[in-house]
Amino acid sequence: MTLDKNVRGYVLHSWSNDPFTKGAWFAAAPGWATKNLKVLQEPHGRVFMGSADWAQGWRGFIDGAIEQGARAAMVTKLALDQEDGVLDAKL
């Protein structure tokens, strides 16, 4: 297959050296995520964590992102309801 186009240039970016991302995708050593999963998932004060990278299932995939987003929303809602003295979380 030949293309009728010529590449005039391209851009590379090192996500591992980017000062804002400090890396790319999550790549833990064998056993590390299993050992630290609960700590990664716990809230830190009023900050609730959710990431596909430490999902219970389908870690690193959109399914894990959806799972973790739903979980983070639920625990946030429960915490806010308890602060208000209301227990009506219905997510």
Q: 57 lies in which domain range?
A: 28-83
Query: For residue 66, is it within any domain?
Result: yes
The percent of residues above 70 in pLDDT, for the chain, comes to 82
* Best CA proximity match to 15, nearest among 7, 3, 25: 25
Contacts of 54 (CB under 8 A, 6+ apart): 26, 33, 37, 40, 41, 68
> Are the C-beta atoms of residues 54 and 68 closer than 8 Å to each other?
yes
Mean pLDDT of 5-33: 80
Query: For residue 8, is it within any domain?
Result: no
Distances (CA, A) of 49 to 8, 11, 16, 56: 42, 33, 22, 13
Query: For residue 5, is it within any domain?
Result: no
Query: For residue 17, is it within any domain?
Result: no
Q: What is the pLDDT of residues 47-85, one digit of tens each?
A: 888 889 889 889 889 999 999 999 999 998 888 888 766
Query: For residue 57, is it within any domain?
Result: yes
The pLDDT of residue 69: 93
* CATH assignment at residue 39: 1.10.10
Provide the domain count of the chain.
Answer: 1
Query: For residue 55, is it within any domain?
Result: yes
Query: For residue 52, is it within any domain?
Result: yes
